[in-house]
């Protein structure tokens, strides 16, 4: 079977490092812009889901691993929620743009003593896949819900590289997942199990959906992957699945009208804490 870089068993043991250390360092120029390219791609889908779940005036919200804070701000400005606590290990991007109703907290959400209160919405997007135990995190985040509150978790799912023919693009994606696993422990192979984890945490009316954005040349998502590969280049090449020349070819392919690759998607799963 082709080595997809995706299976957590075939990928060897996860690296000791953590998100933002060897890869995706927040102090490396342009990292905030890279996160914003992902946000530009997915924010409308996330906001539509949150609004459909009823998030609105009167809600208190926790955004875990809030990044540059685009969802936290849109919750306040568009959904009209009462307050948002935005938490991240590094809050430089959040602190740079304060708005009324937004509280910023620098904290490691995996810490045993992370207990910032109870919230009607707890949201975490593209965070759990980078953490050592999504199962433990889902359970911990569920405990932060007020009765009747909703937990919404989104992470990447790669539906394509497993079965797709080897192209510069699929080789680069495989090398990226493998390289991120080896350096910072990222694991997307278990993301389809998120709904099960929510159910196991005692949440009800669990459901999920997937959004796969088109890889149009010059689009935010195509630029996001190209920039992500640049930042992860060393880790990707170290897997032996691609070399520098092949990676350059993949970047050119992503920017070309000939690109027919399918982007990894965003799986969003949600579940409700019983009201009593």
Please give the residue ranges that form the binding site for ligand SAM (CB under 6 A).
19-20, 35, 38-39, 65-67, 88-90, 108-110, 125-127, 130-131
Closest C-alpha among 36, 178, 63, 41 to residue 127: 63
Q: Which is nearer to ligand SAM, 35 or 121 (CB)?
A: 35
Residue 67 CB, shortest distance to ligand SAM, in Å, is 3
DSSP 8-state class, residue 164:
S
Calculate the CA 157 to chain-centre distance.
10
Rounded Cα distance between 21 and 186, Å, is 12
Q: Are 228 and 247 in contact (CB under 8 A)?
A: no
Residue 26 CB, shortest distance to ligand SAM, in Å, is 6
Contacts of 27 (CB under 8 A, 6+ apart): 92
DSSP 8-state class, residue 14:
P
Q: Which is nearer to ligand SAM, 66 or 75 (CB)?
A: 66
Rounded Cα distance between 52 and 74, Å, is 15
Closest C-alpha among 74, 76, 190, 40 to residue 128: 190
Residue 274 CB, shortest distance to ligand SAM, in Å, is 27
Closest C-alpha among 139, 184, 169 to residue 261: 169
Residue 40 CB, shortest distance to ligand SAM, in Å, is 10
Q: Which is nearer to ligand SAM, 184 or 247 (CB)?
A: 184
Q: Which is nearer to ligand SAM, 38 or 134 (CB)?
A: 38
Closest C-alpha among 174, 152, 179 to residue 163: 174
- Give the nearest residue (CB) to ligand SAM: 67
Q: Which is nearer to ligand SAM, 125 or 182 (CB)?
A: 125
Residue 191 CB, shortest distance to ligand SAM, in Å, is 13
- Assigned token pair, 258: 């000939």
Q: Which is nearer to ligand SAM, 219 or 253 (CB)?
A: 219
* 262 φ/ψ sector (left φ>0, alpha ψ -120 to 50, else beta): beta
Q: Are 250 and 213 in contact (CB under 8 A)?
A: no
Q: Which is nearer to ligand SAM, 188 or 241 (CB)?
A: 188
Contacts of 48 (CB under 8 A, 6+ apart): none
Residue 19 CB, shortest distance to ligand SAM, in Å, is 4
Residue 136 CB, shortest distance to ligand SAM, in Å, is 12
Q: Which is nearer to ligand SAM, 128 or 215 (CB)?
A: 128
Residue 221 CB, shortest distance to ligand SAM, in Å, is 13
């Amino acid at each position: 079977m082709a080595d997809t870089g995706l299976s957590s068993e075939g990928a060897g043991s996860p690296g000791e490092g953590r998100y933002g250390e060897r890869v995706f360092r927040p102090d490396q120029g342009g990292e905030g812009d890279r996160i914003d390219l992902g946000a530009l791609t997915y924010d409308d889908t996330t906001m539509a889901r949150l609004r459909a779940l009823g998030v609105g005036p009167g809600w208190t919200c926790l955004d875990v691993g809030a990044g540059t804070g685009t969802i936290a701000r849109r919750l306040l400005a568009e959904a009209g929620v009462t307050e948002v606590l935005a938490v991240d290990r590094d809050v430089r991007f959040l602190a740079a743009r304060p708005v009324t109703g937004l509280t910023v907290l620098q904290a490691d959400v995996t810490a045993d003593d992370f207990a910032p209160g109870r919230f009607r919405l707890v949201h975490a997007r593209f965070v759990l896949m980078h953490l050592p135990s999504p199962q433990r995190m889902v359970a911990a985040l569920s405990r932060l819900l007020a009765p009747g509150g909703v937990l919404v978790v989104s992470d990447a799912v790669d539906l394509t590289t497993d079965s797709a023919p080897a192209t510069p693009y699929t080789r680069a994606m495989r090398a990226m997942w493998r390289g991120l696993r080896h350096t910072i422990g990222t694991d997307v192979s278990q993301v389809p199990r998120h709904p099960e984890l929510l159910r196991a945490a005692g949440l009800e009316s669990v459901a999920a959906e997937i959004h796969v954005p088109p890889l149009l040349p010059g689009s935010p998502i195509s630029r996001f992957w190209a920039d992500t590969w640049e930042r992860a280049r060393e880790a990707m090449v170290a897997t032996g699945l691609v070399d520098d020349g092949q990676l350059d070819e993949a970047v050119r392919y992503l920017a070309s009208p000939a690109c027919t690759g399918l982007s990894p998607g965003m799986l969003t799963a949600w579940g409700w804490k019983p009201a009593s």
